[in-house]
Structure 1
Amino acid sequence: MSEDFEARRRAAGRKAGLRQALTYLGLSIWAVVVLFPFYWMVLTSLKSYGAYNSEHTPQFFTLHPTLENYQQAFTAVPLGGYLLNTLIFALITTAAMVVVSTLAAYAFARLEFRGKNLLFGAFLSLMMIPSELVVITNYVTITNLDLRNTFTGLILPSITSIFYIYLLKESFEQVPDELYRAAKVDGTSDLKYLWKVMIPICRPTIVTVTILKLIECWNSYVWPRLVTDDQAYFLVSNGIQQIREEGFGRENIPAMMAAVVVISVPLVALFLAFRNKIMEGASRGGIKG
Structure 2
Amino acid sequence: MIYDKTIIKMLKPVFKQLPIIALFFFLITSTTAQVNDTDASPVGVTLTSKTIVEISPDKLSWSGISPGSVGDAADEENNFFQIQIKNIGSKNITHIWFNASYPKASPFAVGSATATNAGNYVVLSADTQPRRYYFVNRAEYNEQTTLVYLRDPDGNMPPNNTKYSYGRFRNSSNEYFWFLDIEDGNCSDNEFFLGDEAHTPLKTGSTDFSNCQNGLNNTPGAGVSSCRTGTLTRNEKYGFAQVNVGGQNYCLAVSQNCNRTFFSHWNPDYPFNNCGANYSRFAWNT
TM-score (norm 2): 0.22
Structure having the larger proportion of residues in strand: 2
Greater RCO (Cα-Cα under 8 Å, separation 6 or more): 1
In our comparison, the structure showing a higher alpha carbon Rg is: 2
Structure having the larger proportion of residues in helix: 1
